[in-house]
Structure formats: structure tokens, C-alpha cells
Amino acid sequence: MKALVTGGAGFIGSNIAKKLLEMDFEVRILDDLSSGFKMNIPEGSEFTEGSVVDGELVKEVVSGVDYIFHLAASVGNKRSIDNPIYDATVNVLGTLNVLEAARSTGVNKLVYSSSAGIFGELKTIPIKEDHPRDPDSPYGVSKLAAEKDCLVYMKLYDIPVVCLRYFNVFGVNQRFDAYGNVIPIFADRILKNIPMTIFGDGEQTRDFVNVKDVAQANIKSALSDATGVFNVGSSTRITINNLASLMESVSETSVGVEYGPERPGDVRDSLADVSKAQASFDFNPSGDIEAGLSEYMNWIKSDPITIRRNDLSN
Ligand SMILES: NC(=O)c1ccc[n+]([C@@H]2O[C@H](COP(=O)([O-])OP(=O)(O)OC[C@H]3O[C@@H](n4cnc5c(N)ncnc54)[C@H](O)[C@@H]3O)[C@@H](O)[C@H]2O)c1
């Protein structure tokens, strides 16, 4: 079986590609390396450097594959507010290129990486798939538009599609960047031995899902008969205060925390209801955040890119 992973040099895509290779899939990766790293690409995959915005190239790499895992995207709310045109170009037009190519060749399944960012302000928890979708950023809008395009192509052209809405993903190959998530930011602080900054009182909760579980959701849903939209989280939540203490404890260090003003637009609580994914393709997240954080901290301490970056910035 042959799979294409767009965005396979990125954090989540590289973990999916690795798992597919372990399962004896032939893996092709399309990535423009705009936020991914060559170093992430697992050995044994066939790599094409290029953009999903290039429709002809997308047709070439889609040709002959049985499954498509579409992750290539301009990721993050802030990035999209800084550059909404680029965000829509990659996330919407790029997805249409993938769908057009899938339509002309035919695939067993297209798994699209969507985001809980499509929900916008959270009104009820746990969050089910039918929670109102009212995004707060151009990124949320583009992820929702691309999700809708996937579902429309399924209706019009019978392409089996799964859209997975990830909550806060963490794990190996996730590095600190200017648009980073809280876990890489706290890890960066721990490595530099400076206090972690918490905005607000730290009692806000988040659903952190291990990237291994996200890879599991991608592959299980691809191989199942399931189609449609699914939430992918850990179905557990922890406070940011607890996250900070856990990260100190697994790192056997104590850098402390400092509190800053609450950030406008930050949601108070988040928790995915994953029962639909559980029932449809036996999604079974580990939920052991401590073990996941321990593995993450061990990895980041030995990551050459992080080590180089910290040497430069010190
Ligand atoms: N990390 C999270 O918590 C999270 C949450 C919800 C959804 N997602 C979604 O998961 C997917 C992967 O995100 P990630 O966290 O691994 O981010 P990432 O930035 O590590 O991965 C994205 C990859 O896509 C590549 N890419 C970007 N633009 C491209 C283009 N035009 N053509 C080809 N490749 C391109 C990047 O180089 C990178 O390797 C994205 O679709 C994102 O929207 C992530």
C-alpha cells in the first residue's frame, strides 16, 4: 500500500509517516520545508520538496497512491492574522489541489488534518462534533473551509474522506517557534533554566493529545469504513498550573512560574468528546500525559536543532 503524507516533514506528519513505514506502507512525502525540517523525514520515505499550491506537482505525487494524509498547512492563529492571504492560499487552495488530484486518480481514503480552531469560542464542554463552528481567526476559517471542501468532494465525487479535528497536540518533533504552543514554550524555558510564564491564574484547562495518538487516529480512520468529521483529543484535561508542575517533575528541575495578564480571546476550558472516533474506528488515546511529557522532555534535550538554536540565542 502506498501513502502520500503532505506536510510529512512537519511535527505531526513526520510521526504519521514513521508509523506508516513501521506498518510496511510505501510512504511519499510532499513538503515545502516552510515550517518542517528535513531532519524529521523518516528514513525510507520518498521525499519531494515542493508546495501543495503547485497543482501540477500535487497531481504527480498523488498519482498511484492508495491513501492521502493531508497535513501541509500554514499553521496557527497568529500566523494567519499576520498573513491571511498566505494562510488561505496554502490551506484552502492547497487542499483543493489535493482534492482535484484525488478526484482524477481515485484513492481509498483521504484523511484531512482539521483543527479544534474551527469551533472558535467554546460554549459547552466536552466538545462534540456538532458544537457550533464559529472560528476566531483566518486560520480557523481556512481550516473549516478546507474541511467543507473535503466533504463536498466526498458528496460530488465519492472520494472517501475523514476530517480529524485535533485539539492541543504535543510530542516528539514539536519544536519551539515564534508561534509555538505552550508545551514547547515551557520546555524551552526549562532548558534555559528560566521561569515559565502563565497568562491568567493558570487554572484554565486544556486537552493535550499525544502525537502518537494522533498518528493512531489517522491510520485507523484511513483503514476503516468511517467517513465524516471526528474530534481527536485525549478526552482528559489538565490545568496549565498542573502542566507546569508536571513538566518540572519529569525534567527533575524547578524553574518556577511567573504570572502575566490574562490574554484576550484565550478560552477558559477545553476538552474533546472523542466518543464518535472511538465508536467509528476504535480510537483509543493513551491519556497518560505524564509519560508523554517525560518522553518529550528526553527527546527535546537531545534534539540537535533545539541544541543549536539555544546555543545561538544564548
Ligand atoms: N499542532 C497542533 O496542535 C495542531 C492542532 C490542530 C490542527 N493541526 C493541523 O495539523 C497539521 C500539521 O500541523 P503541525 O503541528 O505538524 O505543523 P507543522 O508546521 O510542523 O507541519 C506543517 C508542515 O506542512 C509543511 N507545509 C507548509 N506549507 C506547505 C505547502 N504550501 N506545501 C507543502 N508543505 C507545506 C511545513 O513545512 C510543515 O512541514 C496542520 O494541517 C495543522 O493545521 C495541528
Q: Mind listing the pLDDT tens digit for each residue in 131-176?
A: 999 999 999 999 999 999 999 999 999 999 999 999 999 999 999 9
Asked whether residue 7 carries a pLDDT value surpassing 70, the answer given is yes
Interval 48-54 mean pLDDT = 98
What is the predicted pLDDT for the residue at 179? 75
Residue range 307-312: mean pLDDT, rounded:
78
Per-residue model confidence (pLDDT) at position 266: 79
* 36 Cβ below 6 A of ligand 1: yes
Return the CATH superfamily for domain 2-169+209-232: NAD(P)-binding Rossmann-like Domain (3.40.50.720)
Give the atom of ligand 1 at the shortest distance from the alpha carbon of 116.
6
C-alpha span between 210 and 185 (Å, rounded): 16
Active site residues: 139
User: Across the chain, what does the average pLDDT equal?
Assistant: 95
Percent of the chain with pLDDT over 90: 91
Fold adopted by 171-207+236-313: UDP-galactose 4-epimerase; domain 1 (3.90.25)
Q: Give residue 121's pLDDT.
A: 86
Q: Is the pLDDT of residue 291 over 70?
A: yes
Query: Count of H helices and E strands in the chain?
Result: 12, 13
Residue located nearest, by CA, to atom 7 of ligand 1 = 115
Mean pLDDT of 257-269: 88
pLDDT of residue 314: 45
Residue that wins the pLDDT comparison between 267 and 292: 292
Q: How many CB atoms lie within 10 A of CB 132?
A: 11
Q: How far is the CA of 75 from the centre of ligand 1 (A)?
A: 5
Q: Looking at the chain, which residues constitute the CATH 3.40.50.720 domain(s)?
A: 2-169+209-232
For 261-299, b/e burial (b = at least 16 CB within 10 A) is eeeeeebeebbbbbebbeebbebebebebeebbbebbee
Tell me how far the alpha carbon of residue 252 lies from the centroid of ligand 1, in angstroms: 31
3-state secondary structure of 223: helix
Distance 9 CA to ligand 1 centre (A): 9
Residue ranges, comma separated, of all CATH 3.90.25.10 domains in the chain are: 171-207+236-313
Whole-model pTM: value is 0.97
Q: β-pairing, 109-115 with 26-31? A: unpaired
- Per-residue pLDDT, 310: 81
Statement: residue 12 has pLDDT above 60: yes
